Amino acid sequence: MIRRRGFTLLEIATAGILLVVMLTVSLQFFRAAAAQRRELQHRRTAIQEVANVMERLCARPWQELTPEGAGQVQLAPEVQQALAGGELEIKIDMLQPDGEPEGKRITVVLRWPAGPSQPDRSVRLTSWRYRRGNE
């Protein structure tokens, strides 16, 4: 009886092929996880920026809270860099039951391109601001 020591060429080739397949699958998994992490970071940045813009708008005096004044608000430079191509849209609607506006509905939308062959992403926040007695 002959006892063999070592591996045959077929066993080595099979192990090599399995190793290449496993490395390819794991590389694709890590690439997909990194893309999801980037998308999540973009969304988190957009949500924070929309909240900041809304806070700045709601802190303005009643008379300065106009569609014209809101048009001057811009994205922070860090957000412009993080969300390349991002566009900020602000809409202020007057709620007027009897002539003088009693309230204002403020809508802030931030849109940014997600990438080639993907739809644009967006975050929207709406708030209402009512006139105080001394304004």
pLDDT per residue as tens digits for the range 73-98: 889 999 999 998 899 999 999 887 67
Domain assignment of residue 135, yes or no: no
Domain assignment of residue 4, yes or no: no
Work out whether the CA dihedral 74, 44, 123, 52 comes out positive or negative. Answer: negative
Domain assignment of residue 25, yes or no: yes
23-47 pLDDT, tens per residue?
A: 999 999 999 999 999 999 999 999 9
Specify the pTM.
Answer: 0.76
Domain count across the chain:
1
Domain assignment of residue 2, yes or no: no
* Cβ burial, residue 78 (10 Å; 0-12/13-18/19+): exposed
- The encoded tokens of residue 9 equal 């060429």
Domain that holds residue 74: 9-130
Domain assignment of residue 57, yes or no: yes
Domain assignment of residue 27, yes or no: yes
More confidently predicted of 115 and 68 = 68
Domain assignment of residue 85, yes or no: yes
Domain assignment of residue 28, yes or no: yes
